[in-house]
Amino acid sequence: MFKSIAVIAVGTLLFGALNLCTAQEQEPILIKFSHVADEKTPKGQGALLFKQLVDQRLAGKVRVEVYPASSLFGDDNELQALADDKVQLLAPSLAKFEKYTKQLQVFDLPFLFDDLEAVNRFQKRAKGRQLLRSMEASNIIGLAYWHNGMKQLSATKALQVPTDAAGLKFRIQPSSVLEAQFYQVGATPVAMPFAEAFDALKSGKVQGAENPWSNIYSKQLYTVQPFITETNHGVLDYMLVSNQRFWFSIPHAIRSELEGIIDEVSFEVNRQSEEANLADRQRVQASGRSQIISLSDEQRAAWRAAMQPVWQQFEADIGAETVKAAQTVNRKSRN
Ligand code: SIN
């Protein structure tokens, strides 16, 4: 009797010690963060800051590896890699989620948001928050919005009025709205991954593109685009996303800490993005490689009138209520 009690006691002790060892030796949770932008862009800096804060606050519990500039996965396979749990964090531009939800196409509608502050207001309001959850059926959870900036049109010729774009080919992200936007001005849109944009512009496969200043500068697009028209016609922002099953498999206390870090990083990215884009605009201007064209109010109104029919074309897909909610965020109310 005493012998068997002793055996049980020793066994329990051994089991406890073994559990302790396993807990102590447990590998940290690995988060691979892959993205397609340069490290010096708002997204690139955000990814690095996320890693830095996780290293400081969750050392031994979570390990982050950042893969910028399509070095692990690119536009054409990163969302599949997320689904397959080969990568755990991505920040694709909002134009790249069309396969999973049509609702996010609201961000691609040309001339919908007057500026980045308006985009910010929309993202913070109920509708914007709700859109973070719009891909749950595809096991994608939206964790935050990150700004890049407003897009500018660049080309091999000066674009002052919409008819100047007619007959040119423009590289676009894979978005039906962006496709329709270029058809509206008589141009031909060509969808391709971001990593291919520079070569396509350099070789003449396409003659134009639309990008925020940070991407124009960091990808050296200005060296192969002699004219950049400051249209601010649309926004290029990101959604920080994870695989929902993976995200909720993280123990609650660690996940809460990660979500706090994401809030902090998002605040920083969004606070600095406009300034970063302005600094890159200055760098492009100082390079003398590309002429920056400013539009008069009339010229901008002409671009707006040419592209705006796209809203109606996509309103049913996106949801009239979402388009309407976005329209209310501009300071100057019109339409
Ligand atoms: C990015 O900034 O992530 C790339 C956007 C693009 O494909 O134009």
Closest ligand 1 atom, residue 214 Cα: 2
Owning domain of residue 303: 2-327
Q: Tell me the CA distances in angstroms from 142 to 39, 109, 215, 247, 291, one per residue in order.
A: 22, 20, 23, 11, 38
Do residues 91 and 238 make contact, with C-beta atoms less than 8 angstroms apart? yes
Please work out whether the CB of residue 36 comes within 6 Å of at least one atom of ligand 1: yes
In a domain, 332, yes or no: no
The rounded distance, in Å, linking the Cα atoms of 108 and 92 is 14
Atom 6 of ligand 1, residue of closest alpha carbon: 194
CATH number for the domain spanning 17: value is: 3.40.190.170
In a domain, 59, yes or no: yes
What digits encode the pLDDT tens for the residues 246-279? 999 999 999 999 999 999 999 999 999 999 999 9
Closest ligand 1 atom, residue 193 Cα: 7
Q: Which tokens belong to 126?
A: 């109920």
Find the 27 Cα to ligand 1 centroid distance in Å.
33
Find the 277 Cα to ligand 1 centroid distance in Å.
14
Q: What is the percent of the chain where pLDDT is above 70?
A: 92
Testing ligand 1's pocket by substitution, the residue of 211, 214, 238, 241 carrying the most ligand atoms inside 8 A of its CB is: 211
**292 has which bridge partners?**
228
Please work out whether the CB of residue 215 comes within 6 Å of at least one atom of ligand 1: yes
Side by side, which strands form the sheet with 188-191?
188-191, 169-172, 208-211, 152-155, 227-230, 291-294
What digits encode the pLDDT tens for the residues 59-88? 999 999 999 999 999 999 999 999 999 999
The rounded distance, in Å, linking the Cα atoms of 64 and 51 is 5
**pTM attached to this predicted model:** 0.92
Chain centroid, CA 6 distance in Å: 61
Q: Which tokens belong to 266?
A: 């998002």
Testing ligand 1's pocket by substitution, the residue of 194, 210, 239 carrying the most ligand atoms inside 8 A of its CB is: 194
Find the 36 Cα to ligand 1 centroid distance in Å.
7
Residue 301: predicted pLDDT: 98
Find the 326 Cα to ligand 1 centroid distance in Å.
22
Please work out whether the CB of residue 225 comes within 6 Å of at least one atom of ligand 1: no
Query: Of the candidates 146, 200, 135, 147, which has an alpha carbon nearest to the alpha carbon of residue 173?
Result: 200
Find the 214 Cα to ligand 1 centroid distance in Å.
10
**H-run or E-run covering 145:** strand 140-150
User: How does DSSP classify residue 109?
Assistant: S
In a domain, 334, yes or no: no
In a domain, 106, yes or no: yes
Q: End-to-end CA distance of the chain, in Å?
A: 88
Q: How many domains does the chain have?
A: 1
Find the 252 Cα to ligand 1 centroid distance in Å.
32
In a domain, 333, yes or no: no
**Low pLDDT (below 70) residues in the chain:** 1-25, 333-335
